[in-house]
Amino acid sequence: MYLFLLILLAIIYIVLATVRFKLHPLLSLFTAALGVGLIAGIGTNETLEIIMRGFGETLSSIGFVIVFGAIIGLLLEKTNGTKTIVNYMLKWFGIKRSAFAMNLTGFIVSIPVFCDSAFVILSSLNKTLSKRTGIPLTVFAVSLATGLYAAHVFIPPTPGPLAAAALLDADLGSVLLYGLMVAIPVSLIGYLWAKGVGSKSKMIKETNSSQESESFGQLSMRSLLVFLPILTPIILIALKSIAKYPTNPFGQGQFYRILDFLGHPIIALLLGVVIAFIYGLSHRERQFFNWTAEALKEAGVIILITGAGGAFGAVLKALDLAEVLNFETSNSSVGLLIAFGFAAILKTAQGSSTVAIVTASAFMAPLLSSIGLDSEMGKTFTVLAIGAGAMTVSHLNDSYFWVVSQFSHMDVKTALKHYTTGTFIQGIFAILLVLLLFTFLN
């Protein structure tokens, strides 16, 4: 009982330190890990060793992946690759289905680009489309925001799913494959919600005439390269995962060994970086060194938070959390609901989806065997359940909420009604889909 209360206080401390006292998540997670270890009586030196080992082991598996993903995202951002993707979506789906095109664009762009940055980049196109079609800006804003959000919590190499996969020792290829199966319908639910409720909202008038000049540009076969930095790593990682199926669909020969190498997340993302650099060669301002340095700054914060989450999780593992909580169930679906609920509470309480995913994953890792989720499939779907919880809900304490509302000229009441409610619907739909898939596949 004593250790249970200690862990509960540690979680409350992480939330309060981050939200109330504005302590950086890195420091709140590290000090929580240190405090739990010392108070639980693990010992000073042993606690530090556990923290360092947990930090190092976590980063050894995903550090380079996060860095390379950040570089791909920033290169696409700086070379206007994200807007080129929008152009293709609009060309393929047409102006009448432009809200759907923005939702799908958001989903694709958010795989390498952080959703906050992506929304800022694409928000001007929302305004232009609203004027051209007469559809309320709210429809485009919520369509784009929910598409970005779906990929952000489910699809590697975004930092949250990467961190969860590392902390839970889940196969990244499986997380990617099943994550796509969940995230695509969740993104579409966001679009349907935006179209349904947003079409009834009042048209938001734009006064900035400069937005009228936003051009969708000319498309060429060469500009199709913009998709390759995103699709190449995804395809390679997925193929490696398929190659490891018990049926050995690609055999065990030379082709399998090549695919096993190229499909490693680090190599797959590195190839994505190379392709992104090649795409950027056509850009007038080829400031590759500065862009890479900027990406490293963005990635550094995420890497450190993820490592601190790994340290916190390592301390919890050392306490034998399953025995402390005295919780055991043969119903794995209950375990998935616990993962979802814990992540949802953390998300709603402190705002950051990434912090919610990292903390929830660190908490769930020692419990997997006692709740019947220590199989490869169980670990993968625990990652997805946590992702579903980490999008339930985005509201006033989430920086993304303010990015969406301010760049779309929505007041707080409108944003809560259209966007926040949309994330709630997405989260509930996501966990139901996760449970359905897990039951069917298991």
Does residue 43 lie in a domain region? no
Does residue 307 lie in a domain region? no
Does residue 98 lie in a domain region? yes
Task: Using alpha carbons, list the distances in angstroms from residue 350 to 251, 355, 357, 393.
Answer: 47, 8, 12, 11
Mean pLDDT of each 10-residue bin along the chain, 442 residues long: 85 89 92 95 95 93 90 89 84 89 94 88 86 90 97 93 94 95 98 87 50 52 81 91 85 92 94 92 79 91 90 87 65 93 93 93 91 94 98 92 92 93 98 97 85
Does residue 303 lie in a domain region? no
Domain count, the chain: 1
Reported pTM: 0.87
Does residue 351 lie in a domain region? yes
Domain extent, residue 181, equals 59-203+220-288+322-441
Q: In 3D, which of 353, 378, 349 has the Cα closest to residue 364?
A: 378
Q: Encoding tokens for residue 179?
A: 């994550």
Give the pLDDT of residue 298.
Answer: 85
Does residue 197 lie in a domain region? yes
Residue environment code for 72-93, b if the CB has 16+ CB neighbours within 10 A, otherwise e? bbbbbbbbbbbbbbbbbbbeeb
Q: In 3D, which of 137, 145, 267, 127 has the Cα closest to residue 208?
A: 127
Does residue 39 lie in a domain region? no
Does residue 166 lie in a domain region? yes
Give the pLDDT of residue 279.
Answer: 87
Task: Using alpha carbons, list the distances in angstroms from residue 375 to 134, 305, 381, 435.
Answer: 51, 26, 10, 16
Give the pLDDT of residue 218.
Answer: 59
CB 155 within 8 A of CB 117: no
